[in-house]
Amino acid sequence: MSRAHCPFRKTILGSGCRCSQAAMAHLPTGCSVTCASPDAFGQCEQLLEHMINAAQFALQYVKGTDSLTHGKLMRVQHGGLQGLQVLVKETEQPISDIHALLNEAIAHYGAIEDIPAEALLPYIKAHQNKKRKRG
């Protein structure tokens, strides 16, 4: 198993998405998610980069800076995946397998860079992160 941290670990840990290639990693600082497949890791990393590039203006993110906060990254990850699921499967059900969804998208569009990222923007903008309970 690869020890690479999953590009979508934040949404797997925080929003309930699942992935067949994900494995929980228990670290001294908490839990993380690793990827069992170097190929799947590369595909997910490429998809996340594709979504971030498309959402830069909407998120007021300037590439090359540290302005992509945890909250903005969650919006890109979960909102983008939700939008991708609507594009590919025409459903807004919870995402049960990120790897399978990405493979379906690649089969449908031919390549990750051909996935119409602008169609994902409404889902990225609309995603509301969970609010922390105080007290």
**114 lies in some domain:** yes
- The pLDDT > 70 percentage for the chain reads 89
Query: Whole-model pTM?
Result: 0.86
Strand partners, 25: 32
Name the strand (E) or helix (H) holding 57.
helix 38-59
Q: What is the mean pLDDT of residues 62-81?
A: 81
The CA distance from 79 to 126, in Å, is 7
**20 lies in some domain:** no
Q: How many domains does the structure of the chain reveal? A: 1
**105 lies in some domain:** yes
Note the pLDDT tens digit of each residue in 111-125: 999 999 999 999 998
Among candidate residues 2, 38, 35, 32, the one with its CA nearest the CA of residue 14: 32
**90 lies in some domain:** yes
- What is the domain extent for residue 75? 39-126
Longest CA span, the chain: 49
Strand partners, 61: none
Note the pLDDT tens digit of each residue in 29-67: 778 899 999 999 999 999 999 999 888 888 877 766 566
Q: What is the mean pLDDT of residues 83-112?
A: 95
